[in-house]
Amino acid sequence: MTLKKQHSLLNRANEACDMVKKHITEDNIIRIISHNDADGISAAAVVANAIKEEGGQFHTSIVSRLTREFVRELAKESYNLFVFSDMGSACLKYINRLKADVIIADHHQPAKIEANANVVHINPHLFGIDGSRELSGSGSSYLAIRELGENGKKHLAYFALIGAFGDMQSQNGFSSVNKLILEDGLESEVLKINEDLKIVSKSEEPLYKSLAYTLNPGLSGLTGDLKGSKTFLEKIGLSYLVKFVDLEGDERNILKDELIKINPAIFANIYTIPKEIPQLRDLEEYAYLLDSCGKNKKFGLGLGICLGEREKALDTAIDLQKKYREQLIKGMEWIKREGSINLNHFQYLYSEDKDLKRIMGTIASVGISIGLLPSDKPILTLARLHDDIKISGRTTREMVEKGVNLGKALDDASRSFGGQGGGHDIAAGAIIPFNQKDNFLNLFNDIVEHQLG
């Protein structure tokens, strides 16, 4: 059954591949529109890299949200092929009106309408595959170009996994279509797996920063805590200023044993591109770097790095990441101090602070993973933007198994008060008018209660 679903999905993707091939042959510039997070940027990158390798041309826009107005503007452009990656499925109604050929390569919950004949719609949900953990937007996009060229594009499969990491689809390794993509990457020999400590910036930062900046998996007492990390390293007899790569073998073993005591998941499979420079070698860290580009609205920078730009572009991106990490540390201090606001069936964070607003989603997840916030309730983060509130929601796999569907709950609750929302069962978003905040929170609480039966 599973294989049959995958087979139907791959068949759909091959239709897209033929479409891309046709437009490259006709020398058409291909218009790519993608989402602004790590998954969206890798999605645009995998398509753009494939087109580039085949001698084709592309024009890319990275946007935070696809609106009806934006699709209307696109309709005025004279391109013959539009590719929507990591977005588009929810906007099918408007995309259907485009007169050109269209590929949608998405993994968010799709609108319940049929695609027109000129639209190839790739989305795991259409084939009974779970888009929140079995395939990312960059994965859907990779499938759309997988068979392109003489030898296919398996050497680009790693971009699909960068996106999967960006969308947190790798909690216990990769499964389903993500696993198929992983096998493509291994087969191409561009990608390697080995077991090691999953701490970040092993060759760039002093050890205490590597520990404090490690978010996945979270390390209680160390993640987000520079002082805690220093104290921990002093206690186990290691210099906190040394870099991980400069540790002796026996020192690495001490560190490994002590970190495993805090969280066994810290020693796990690492996915790397050995031929890459150290800063981009680890796929998960590559995703973090793209995420900081995205969060700072430097989408071109992130995409440029994926297309091979190094040196200055990379320095700028790493600089952004440093600033972003400093903000995360402050954010972690904030939730440690304030905690979350609790209703019966969910908890939330609210802020009007410019810096906090950008990182609230991340600190909410990390806060739950290291026990600063309760894990038995979904969490919403509410960021005020003038007259609106931007909401993002996350929960755990366990809560989803109990019936929680945040995409549906946020969609229903926001619509009732003139907003809009949607997404995945485990992670979703919405926008509501500021003056409906309390009504929204109460209704959302009722909906989650109802979902929990």
Least Å distance, CB 391 to Mn ion, is 18
Site for Mn ion in 51-90 (CB under 5 A): 86
Closer of 288 and 440 to Mn ion (Cβ):
288
Q: CA 333, CA 336: separation in Å to the nearest integer?
A: 5
Angle at 61 between CA 58 and CA 67, to 5 degrees: 130
- Residues in binding contact with Mn ion, number by CB under 5 A: 4
Please, what is the minimum distance in Å from the beta carbon of residue 22 to Mn ion?
Answer: 27
Return the number of the residue (217 or 294) whose C-beta is nearest Mn ion: 294
Task: Report the residue number, 37 or 101, with the smaller CB distance to Mn ion.
Answer: 37
| Structural contact between residues 392 and 413, judged by C-beta atoms closer than 8 angstroms | no
Residue 425 binds Mn ion, judged by CB under 5 A: no
| Part in contact with Mn ion (CB under 5 A); list of ranges 38-46, 112-120, 331-339, 370-378 | 38-46
Q: Which of 12, 16, 39, 280 binds Mn ion (CB under 5 A)?
A: 39
Nearer to Mn ion by C-beta: 164 or 383? 164
- Please tell me the distance from the alpha carbon of residue 154 to that of residue 147, in angstroms, as a whole number: 8
Q: Looking at beta carbons only, is 35 or 230 nearer to Mn ion?
A: 35
Give the CA radius of gyration of the chain.
Answer: 22
DSSP letter string, 107-165 = -SPPPSSPPPTTEEEE-GGGGT--TTTT--HHHHHHHHHTT-STT-SGGGHHHHHHHHH
CB-nearest residue to Mn ion:
39
Closer Cβ to Mn ion, 137 or 224, answer by number = 137
How far apart are CB 136 and Mn ion at their closest, in Å? 5
Q: 86 or 147: whose CB is closer to Mn ion?
A: 86
CA distance 154 to 128: 24
Closest CA to 323 of 366, 359, 284, 370: 359
| Bridge partners of residue 82, in order along the sequence | 31, 102
Q: Helix %, strand %, coil % for the chain, to 5?
A: 50, 15, 30
Cβ contact 429:423 at 8 Å: yes
Minimum CB–partner distance for residue 166 and Mn ion (Å): 7
Tell the smallest beta-carbon distance from residue 14 to Mn ion (Å).
22
Residues 117-176 that bind Mn ion (CB under 5 A): 137, 167
Q: If you count them, how many residues does the chain have?
A: 453
In the bound complex, what is the minimum distance in angstroms from residue 407's beta carbon to Mn ion?
13
Shortest Cβ distance from residue 158 to Mn ion (Å)? 16
Q: Applying CB under 5 A, which residues contact Mn ion?
A: 39, 86, 137, 167
